[in-house]
Amino acid sequence: MFHALVAIKQVPDTTNIRIDPETGNLVREGVPAIMNPYDAHALAAAVEWKRKLDGRVTVISMGPPSFTTTIREAVELGADRGILVSDRKFAGADTLATSYVLAEVIKAIHKEDPIDLCFFGKQAIDGDTAQVGPGVAVRLDFPIVTYAIGLRTIDLDNETVIVERKTEQWTEVVETSLPALLTCEKEIAEIPFASLPDLIKALRYDPEIWTLEGPIAFDANHIGVRGSATIVYQMGTPPLPEAGEKINTRETSVVEAIDFTLRKAEEAGVLGAMLGSDR
Amino acid sequence: MSARRFWVFIEQEHGEVHPVSWELLGIARSLASQVAQEAEAANEEVKVEGILLGHQVRSIAEKAIGYGADRVYLMDDAVLADYRNCPYYVDIVALATKYQPEVMLIGATTLGRDLAGAVATALGTGLTADCTKLEMGEVKGAKQKLLLATRPAFGGNIMATIVCRTHRPQMSSVRPRVFSAPIYDPQAKGEIIEESVEITEAEARACILEFLHAKEYAVDIEYSNVIVAGGRGLGGPTGFDLLKQLADALGGVVGASRPCVDAGWIGYAHQVGQTGKTVRPKVYVAAGISGALQHKVGMQNADFIIAINTDPQAPIFEVADVGIVGDLFEVIPVMIDEIHARKETRV
Ligand SMILES: Cc1cc2nc3c(=O)[nH]c(=O)nc-3n(C[C@H](O)[C@H](O)[C@H](O)COP(=O)(O)OP(=O)(O)OC[C@H]3O[C@@H](n4cnc5c(N)ncnc54)[C@H](O)[C@@H]3O)c2cc1C
Ligand SMILES: Nc1ncnc2c1ncn2[C@@H]1O[C@H](COP(=O)(O)O)[C@@H](O)[C@H]1O
């Protein structure tokens, strides 16, 4: 039987983020919380393979109690078990401390019910760091394949997986041993519609909550602010760039506007680049 | 004499160096100079050093010296011929454990991101992603200057400066084109130190079976001198045909805002901005782009920005050197003709 683990994070839906025109700050109130989109695709891939290989999917998430809604959503999409790791002392974690907690949880699950493949998102859209997946893989000593766009085969007998990953230059077809960890692009799988049985199951499902009290022990030196190597030292607003000159084609003419533009380009010393004469 | 080492990962694939490596050598040199006084007083040396892994890549190590490395640690072995996470990170961790660098900079490319998170975790240290500003500064309570790594947060609304107080090395990833490359000096002197590799093929854990579609991804907008970018104002995928004509006339490439990519008007490789590429061309034309923060953070370092927008209040005009208030479908055809005409009179 195939056992997949998916790490999911709840994030503010940044596509709907508003910016306060007065202060230039992010308006957090009323911004809906969603499952990190890459994690949703990672989950979809895990569920797809669970159906093919007759297996099960465990999801984990670290965050405040409000994250249970995202875990329920994962159950709607086909996850069998959901664990929320939640404790005030975990707060303020950077990626080093986050990867520690997630790795400890995965190790504990792996011990009682061996995991074949871990699915992570390529990155969380709130921080865009893409560091947690590689960090967890190192801590688990699992091989990692980042930027996965397709899973060709999972061979449980020979304990191998063949994955397509996308880099800037090409697509690589990589074979690696199981257990392994993938970080997933959206192409890895389409998000399916939830099935009725899964919807009903999710309604009644209560995620397990793991805290510092148990069921597993965490080293207090590795969690939260104390376990973090980095701190935010300062916050500031970005410097405002100087605006240039504007010309309105309604007040002048298109031809004049272009002429003006090219004259400015010449003054700035970039006209040659535009006319192909300084290459 | 002990040394404060500023390390740069020299990224290469199949013998081709990613130019971000040179950009990082430039900023590493500047960081090193910011602690020169302090180091001299403490009787310490300051070194800018490259780390280079690959197979048959010695000539790249020599080049790195020309771009400012005092020393290059070279791991040259068949097991490192293709980039793979495990052999690369294990070897770099071994090297860092041996030489104890103070700072390590890695390009925030797909390869660099894959690597940086693994190296930082294995070394148990902090990593700040996608920095846009780096400096060495005094921090209360610290004996030496620390790396102040600044990156945009909350979609560019806020700049957060991150420090890593006690763990070493202080690691940062930096996107291509955030810093400019130093001038290459063929006379520069430096040493190449060959290091042996820790990992054998049997321990590499991943086997690359094939490389696909190499050609299709070949739009290199990061390093183009001229970019003609379009936004939702293009109204649909055919709008990009017009932009392509202008880009061809200017000898440049086409860029795009995110909604165009999300709508499938053009491929992701063309996307400029926070979740796309950071660019720094000589000329950036923004047509039908409103200028949201997430777009601006990717292009505001261009030398010369021309914005074309029907809305005089569009925020793109705040960063434009020349703002043309007008309809791009009227402006661009005239611009194309004018460019062709001027090119003819020049030759
Ligand atoms: C987390 C996050 C990450 C993001 N990352 C990116 C990113 O990497 N890159 C990015 O670009 N965006 C990104 N965005 C989206 C960004 O916030 C904006 O939504 C986006 O940049 C707007 O694109 P646009 O300017 O093309 O469209 P719009 O904002 O709709 O602007 C269209 C403009 O076209 C003008 N126009 C219309 N018709 C014409 C005409 N005929 N001639 C001239 N002008 C015309 C209009 O006046 C308008 O200003 C991100 C958002 C979030 C939340
Ligand atoms: N708090 C968290 N709980 C569960 N998974 C997480 C958490 N943070 C990050 N991840 C996973 O790590 C991936 C990369 O996150 P990041 O490194 O923050 O960009 C995400 O897509 C998730 O799969």
User: What's the CATH number where A192 sits?
Assistant: 3.40.50.620
Q: How many domains does chain A have?
A: 2
The packing angle between helices B110-123 and B85-99, to 10°, is 50
Bridge partners (DSSP) listed for residue B18: none
If asked whether residues A110 and A208 sit together in one domain, one would say yes
Average pLDDT, whole number, for chain A? 91
Instruction: Tell me if B92 sits within 8 A of B75, measured CB to CB.
Output: no
Is A28 among the domain residues? Answer: yes
φ/ψ of A225, rounded to 5, equals -60, -40
Ligand 1 mean position to A236 CA, how many Å? Answer: 25
Residue B42 tokens, joined? 């403490």
Instruction: Tell me if B175 sits within 8 A of A128, measured CB to CB.
Output: no
Is the shortest distance between the CB of B252 and ligand 1 below 6 Å? no
| A174 has a pLDDT exceeding 70 | yes
Query: Comparing B3-203 with B216-346, is the CATH topology the same?
Result: yes
- Cα end-to-end distance, chain A, whole Å: 61
> Is the bond into A32 cis (omega within 30 degrees of 0)?
no
Instruction: Tell me if B82 sits within 8 A of A173, measured CB to CB.
Output: no
Instruction: Tell me if B134 sits within 8 A of B23, measured CB to CB.
Output: no
Query: For the complex shown, is ipTM > 0.85?
Result: yes
Is A228 among the domain residues? Answer: no
Is A229 among the domain residues? Answer: no
| B283 has a pLDDT exceeding 80 | yes
Closest Cβ opposite residue A268 in set B121, B304, B318: B304
Ligand 2 mean position to B313 CA, how many Å? Answer: 38
| Domain ranges within chain B, ordered by starting residue | 3-203, 216-346
Average pLDDT over residues A53-57: 96
Say whether B127 and A230 touch across the interface (CB within 8 A).
yes
Closest Cβ opposite residue B322 in set A133, A250, A261: A261
How far is residue B187 CA from its own chain's centroid?
Answer: 26
In CATH terms, the fold of domain B216-346 is Rossmann fold (3.40.50)
Over residues A60-86, the pLDDT tens digits come to 999 999 999 999 999 999 999 999 999
Say whether A241 and B300 touch across the interface (CB within 8 A).
yes
Average pLDDT, whole number, for chain B? 94
> Is the bond into A179 cis (omega within 30 degrees of 0)?
yes
If asked whether residues A183 and A262 sit together in one domain, one would say no
Residue B139 tokens, joined? 């921090």
Ligand 2 mean position to B161 CA, how many Å? Answer: 22
Domain of A189?
Answer: 3-222
**What letters, b where the CB count within 10 A reaches 16 and e where it falls short, cover B248-286?**
ebbbbbbbbbbbbbeeebbebbbbbbbbbbbbbbbbbbb
Give residue A279's pLDDT.
Answer: 46
Which residue bears the tokens 């970005």? A238
Q: Which residue of A has its CA nearest to B137?
A: A233
Architecture of domain B3-203: 3-Layer(aba) Sandwich (3.40)
Over residues B55-82, the pLDDT tens digits come to 999 999 999 999 999 999 999 999 999 9
Closest Cβ opposite residue A245 in set B127, B139, B322: B322
Q: Which of A41-50, A232-241, B196-205, B210-219 has the lowest mean pLDDT?
A: B210-219
If asked whether residues A216 and A90 sit together in one domain, one would say yes
Residue B212 tokens, joined? 């696909």
Is the shortest distance between the CB of B101 and ligand 1 below 6 Å? no
If asked whether residues A104 and A217 sit together in one domain, one would say yes
Is A160 among the domain residues? Answer: yes
Sign of torsion, CA B203 B209 B215 B218?
A: negative
Residue B318 tokens, joined? 């705040």
Say whether B251 and A139 touch across the interface (CB within 8 A).
no
